[in-house]
Chains A and B, each alone.
Chain A
Amino acid sequence: MALLKRLIDWIDVRIGAREVVAKELTGYLLPRNINTWYSMGSILLFIFVLQVVTGILLLIYYVPDADKAFKSVTYIMNEVPFGWLIRMCHVVGSSMMVLVLLFHMISVLFMNSYKSPREMNWLTGFILFTLVQGISLTGYLLPWSQLSFWATTVATNSANAIPVVGPYLVEFLRGGKLVGPPTLGRFFALHVALIPLGIAAVVGAHLFFLQRTGVSTPPFGLKDTTNRWKGDGYSYESHPGGIPFFPNYALEDLRSIFIYLACFLAVVYFDPYLFFTRDSFIPANPLQTPAHIKPEWYFLANYQTLKIFPSEFIGLAVQGAGMTFLALLPFIDRTKERHPLKRPLFMICAIGGIMLWIGLSVWGHYS
């Protein structure tokens, strides 16, 4: 212990570590009525780190070559000790990341935390949401299975609906007329280098904005819910008399992470193929399309929307409009009231939107 204290003293003399800890951790106060939903962000950060670690490990044995990719994945699954564990953590982790991300968004939506002055938090969060979808889509191709190959064919093909530039865009995305070895190279570079760096950078910005504006007060519970910020100057939402981030809320974060880990490992150990279909065990065959090819569960609504509209362009435009609306929500919704029960119209729209999304996904799954 004396040694540890001497080490901390040594660092403290040089960089003033205790001051940083006091300012950012022990002295960083959160609202007294903060709830568990606020720890979704910490879970996501934890998942992201886990995805990076397992991803780096997979890179050791994975070969990004159309002739060898499927074999190398099979080798990881069957030959490398604990290869199955590393890969399953990565695969299951990706689906869980999208799931927790949706919970995070929904909690921010219903607690109205996206409102002024937190537009930039919401925007960076929205960018993260699209980047996570992008990294999931590109990662899907890498095992070079039938599922990967045809899901990517369908997904890249939807860009075709954009007028004028559509066909060129599809070819640009694929690196050729059809999905093939050049597509694998592109998607590999995006999946392991470009998008992860982008996510890390935007996560940094997201946390920086959170730090600057301060954590929002939940609209329910002890305190008043009025937003006193007038938008005429910078202000930090401090919480005098609140609970310190460390150790109090850090422990709550840790508890949430452990609950997440329990759910995550339950899938990894007891139903590892939950997110797989038969086609993911067959090597890609460009000459044979399997029947009933479907995207990952979080793209089912998009997939079904494209099927409903007679014109692909309208289908795509509707989705684009929906996404734009979501991205610009804090600029559209300008009221100061943050209690969901005092905003019936908002509640109807939000719940209706979520039900629509779930309905479309279920329809897409069974169609």
Chain B
Amino acid sequence: MESNGRRTFLGLCLGGLAAAAAAVTAWPVYRYLAPRPAKTTAAKVDIPEKDVPEGEAKFFDFGGASAVLVRKRGGDLIALSAVCTHLGCIVQWEKNKQDFLCPCHGGLYTAEGAVISGPPPKPLTKLPFTVTNGIITVG
């Protein structure tokens, strides 16, 4: 019984060592493969007001994802996430209809991001922004 206990103990030690060795090998490989954090450090994006004329939309990178600024006919400015709430495609601005179309499954949004038709379950996320001295600051 005693020799059996020693065998179990050594087996456990060996198993522990093997597990530790596997872990110190797997950890660097995991870290090597894990995606790098995006370089965009600024949570705020500055866009000159003249870049967004009436009736047009400006797409830009916002914290690693796509976002859009729209100036509706009449002058209202809106900042939205451009990621479709259905399956994550990037919506397109239809200038003549003044709405957003998701090309993947035909989701249709108003210029304010509200769902008109199609599969999207939620409106496009609104982004906060301020306008000072002709510069639009999103975020």
Q: Could you tell me which A residues sit within 8 Å of B by CB distance?
A: 57, 60, 79-83, 85-86
Closest to A60 in B: B33
Is the pair A86, B28 in contact by a Cβ cutoff of 8 Å?
A: yes
Is the pair A82, B31 in contact by a Cβ cutoff of 8 Å?
A: yes
Q: Could you tell me which B residues sit within 8 Å of A by CB distance?
A: 28-29, 31-34, 36
Instruction: Tell me which of A57, A82, A86 has the highest count of chain B C-beta atoms within 10 A of its own C-beta.
Output: A82
Closest to A53 in B: B29
Is the pair B36, A82 in contact by a Cβ cutoff of 8 Å?
A: no
Is the pair A57, B36 in contact by a Cβ cutoff of 8 Å?
A: no
Is the pair A81, B29 in contact by a Cβ cutoff of 8 Å?
A: no
Contact residues in A for B28 (Cβ distance below 8 Å): 81-82, 85-86
Is the pair B29, A57 in contact by a Cβ cutoff of 8 Å?
A: yes
Contact residues in B for A86 (Cβ distance below 8 Å): 28-29, 32
Contact residues in B for A85 (Cβ distance below 8 Å): 28, 32
B84 to chain A, nearest CB (A): 29
Contact residues in A for B32 (Cβ distance below 8 Å): 57, 60, 80-83, 85-86
Distance of A85 Cα from B29 Cα, bound (Å):
9
Q: List 18 A-B contacts (CB under 8 A).
A: A57-B32, A57-B33, A60-B32, A60-B33, A79-B36, A80-B32, A81-B28, A81-B32, A81-B34, A82-B28, A82-B29, A82-B31, A82-B32, A83-B32, A85-B28, A85-B32, A86-B28, A86-B32
Contact residues in B for A60 (Cβ distance below 8 Å): 32-33
Contact residues in B for A79 (Cβ distance below 8 Å): 36
Distance of A140 Cα from B31 Cα, bound (Å):
26
Distance of A60 Cα from B28 Cα, bound (Å):
15
Distance of A80 Cα from B29 Cα, bound (Å):
11
Closest to A81 in B: B31
A-B CB proximity, top 7 nearest: A82-B28, A81-B31, A82-B32, A82-B31, A85-B28, A86-B32, A80-B32
Distance of A183 Cα from B31 Cα, bound (Å):
32
Contact residues in B for A81 (Cβ distance below 8 Å): 28, 31-32, 34
Contact residues in B for A82 (Cβ distance below 8 Å): 28-29, 31-32
Contact residues in B for A83 (Cβ distance below 8 Å): 32
Distance of A79 Cα from B29 Cα, bound (Å):
14
Q: A82-B32, A86-B28 are in contact. List 6 more A-B contacts (CB 8 A).
A: A57-B32, A81-B31, A81-B34, A85-B28, A85-B32, A86-B32
Distance of A67 Cα from B31 Cα, bound (Å):
27
Distance of A15 Cα from B61 Cα, bound (Å):
56
Distance of A85 Cα from B30 Cα, bound (Å):
12
Contact residues in A for B31 (Cβ distance below 8 Å): 81-82
Distance of A70 Cα from B94 Cα, bound (Å):
43
Distance of A85 Cα from B33 Cα, bound (Å):
13
Distance of A80 Cα from B31 Cα, bound (Å):
8
Closest to A85 in B: B28
Distance of A82 Cα from B32 Cα, bound (Å):
6
Distance of A81 Cα from B29 Cα, bound (Å):
9
